[in-house]
Structure 1
């Protein structure tokens, strides 16, 4: 037997074992690769550059929405790529397959799912393989779904954009510092806040160069704190390019990488100059208020807020309360509990709610002094204080102790009471006399009332037959006018004229009666408006008589508008009526102040009142001044009815109006030259 080993067989078995081990290793490697691809959610694809056929694994098919074709090719797959990205993908594939370029295929694009029409973002990377002659024979790679990544990035970008818009819209500026390069990116608003210019080419040194020298340490200390906490906060002064100083608040936050290393600093800056200046003004005002309270000659304190916290009481107020400095900082109801049953808390609450100050004289207050409840009397005021927003934040209490004065007055009142009984009999006599005067006044009031009722009844009772006379005479003239001879028509016309004059006289008498018996409310009256109104009412007469009216500046007087209208209307009517036929009528209405010397010469005027002199001048027929007293009397006429119409009551009515106003009326005149009627009327004080 040949026992020598067969070396060839052993070699063959070794080769088979190595091949088996290599296959097992290959299979394991492919399994590991598939597991890695699956875990990374990567799809594998291969493309034949010659035929355009494409091999997709299951993951790639999912990324394209599971196309129904069994054999895929580039022409069909390109239709599932979003139309806006097709050109980009085509160019990228062309560059990868170009033997002169041989670029790496790395492109992001959108697909529209073949079966579900779902939009997906893919990130595809691959490589083309070439023959020694330079012809591409294989094009393969992997695809990954990056839809969520793109969406998140878009949301972050949108959020960053919105944040930047919000920051800029609020008037603040934003900045971002990349710590590795010390590069700073900032908005024009931040540049304007820091330097006073919209555009600035400074680097991060913008913060250092423009910070006020006195605030440099404050800034450095803020950065030291920020390095430990990650939060940057400080307020400092910055010097603008024009040397003006502005207060700026800087708020920032460090961003760290996964190792905890700070990589960037982002934040905002705000111009707070207005706020700082306002705070300085408030602080100065508070210091002034504190000084005023401390130096006030009367007891003074502040009650702050709805709780009425006691602040800044001066020594005089602490002495009144009798409890020392222990009351400072306490609510009023805790510091002075004895006031609970007294009205002061309610008054303070109303002042705080309404903003209406309150003052009282000789008000009683019961206070505990040295453990004993004692009674005091004060003159005091509660004045609300408002902040810059107009809100009430405190009440200023100022008080004067008038206890001795009130007690003296009370003692005096008690003394007066003892003497009051001694004059009781005199008071009874005075009361009896008062009752008699009251009865006489009542009788006078009754008489005036009866007179008014008589005037009203008489005017109405007398007007009724006059209206009938006018009515029947008008009917006679209309119906039977042709039956009358000339004498009959003359007498009928006389009847109508007499009736009209009688009616006019009754109206004037009634107006005069009303002036005599009726009280009227007085108020400031603009004479310029009164004159304008009267001229408008007399427009027809003014045009008919061709009168020229000249009006000077007119004041405001103290009186009754209705009565003053009657006064002006009668004076102006007379000036228009008593014109000369052959001379153009000119009427002037003037006014001026009355001095003390002129006032002293006038009768029945009050020297303590101020008066104005109101004049109506005309160039009419005038009158003899010997009749001056007569023209202001009832029914007194200087001319016959055939010359000028009228009842003879107008000037008497003017006089009564002036008397009602505690004034004075007179006139100056010369025949065929004109008249001036002068009225003195009081003016408001």
Structure 2
């Protein structure tokens, strides 16, 4: 029976049947029965679209084929159109309406229709248009599910594509021969292997003519054996062809099989062919490549070797012999590697061979002992060659002398260790910021103390290791700029607020950021050195405050000493400004500052004498400080003046007898020598080439220091001597003129000495290792000595230990 989804439609059908006479009723019932049988036989989905009422009827196939129940199917055409795949819907609906509008009686299309489970079926849909009075009133059709057919076609096509891809990837050509007719079918690749013969239909006799004449007989015999029903030999042969059109010689590897009828008659002979020309000629190319490789290896300074593992025979180059043994050997066994390897590196070689047995690659670096007992570093690189069964048959490789590289690496390591030691022992806070991320490396204790951090910051980026209050954006920008430009940066007296023991304190630092470059000239790190100058800055600030108080005091006496106060202020200002330039300060001291200083001393003395009773205790203290400071300033100006004269005065050189210089200085220092009870021993001294006045200053400062820095309650012993300087000793010293001979002049004492880590500091201006309360002085004496020595193109240094005295060594030129 029909499934009537529209009640109106079923009543109309009944009414139509009732209006017919008996004969017509019988015919219609027969037609309906036949229609139902056809639907059940074809398993198609039948539909009936009433164009006037716009309703669609579906048969039971809607459920059997697509899984929809009658309740799920809408009565209108949306039950159809909405289930068409969105990519197909517009075109299908358009073509259907176009066929109706054109008056076509038939319509058909292929598209995807959605099942109840959401998947899509491939369908072939056909419809027939019923018209009344020239107007389309109904369309009846059937829909067939072609999914299995489509999927089968796709799978077959995919299989064919995979086969073609495999043949193409393997570069195989396919051929088939009919043994009865001799006709051969070639694909395009096979035709190319025979030089693309011009014949459209190929036959056995013609193709034989394109095989090299020396190989034709064995090919014919191999084919006959394969087609023989008694032997049925597998066809597997290599032979040469001469191209039909290009006349190119090619080597082919052909494999195939003959197929026989039950009676033993061959009916098909097919197989594949591959171009093996490159493989056949590989031995020649390998030999040529080996020769080129050997030339390349020898040209690079490396040596080559080849070991036959079955006989242990070794073939080696003269270069390899020289690298391993230090000389060329005419006959060596494989064990010469063991014979010459350093005993301490034998296990390293053994381990390398164990790894090579698993990976096939031999690689190690070891020391080898030459015939003259010298030790050289060698790098060995090898590769095992295997046969078809996977058995290693030979070992080939190269050896390279890497002694220079190892020594360079050791030097770099030593240099890095030296840098690490210098940073750790540096008297100032020091560390390195490595890379663009500025990773903290090698911070010494002084730097960690400044940061208030432990070793946990090592290896961390600067931005992560330190808190934000210690890193302002300006500082980070400066470091980034150094990495980009390579320009160092320094600053003096920079303020830093640090948390020490939980308390925020203010410090001041002089610091430098210097870029460090690798061997390629690339910046890889920044060296940070910071000096805590908090005490100096605070002292300067205190001095400035003291000056402010002094100016207030002078203001009270403005009517009496107004003119002198202005001069004092000017003198003080010039003194502060001149700290950054010692030579300019010395000239100013010589010509402009001596007179104002004497007036400061004079007027402060008068203030103390006449008005001392008018001042309170603080005022008297400040006047005393002014007098003490003016005395020290006067002494410092004298020393600076003497220092400046070393540059500005006449520096004419002549032969100078050091004996006379030393005698004169001892006479001048007679009072100090007696006060300190110093015993001075003077050896015979040579004649040097120099300026008498400057040399007198040099000896006087050295001897004065030896007398001054004595131990308490221990008699001072001082020795003055001189020795000739050999060329070997001279080569180890810097800044000596190569065209002069030199002597070593020494002044030794048994005084308090000093720690040699301050050796570079004691020769700098105003540097003191002891307070003024312990030893007087301006801190210029040794700087003056260094300047005198530099004027004479010499060198000065010292050796000392705390409480073990000191020896100052001066290298001076002598007349040629």
Alignment TM class, shorter chain as reference: 0.3 to 0.5
TM-score w.r.t. the length of structure 2 is 0.36
Larger relative contact order (C-alpha < 8 A, sep ≥ 6)?
1
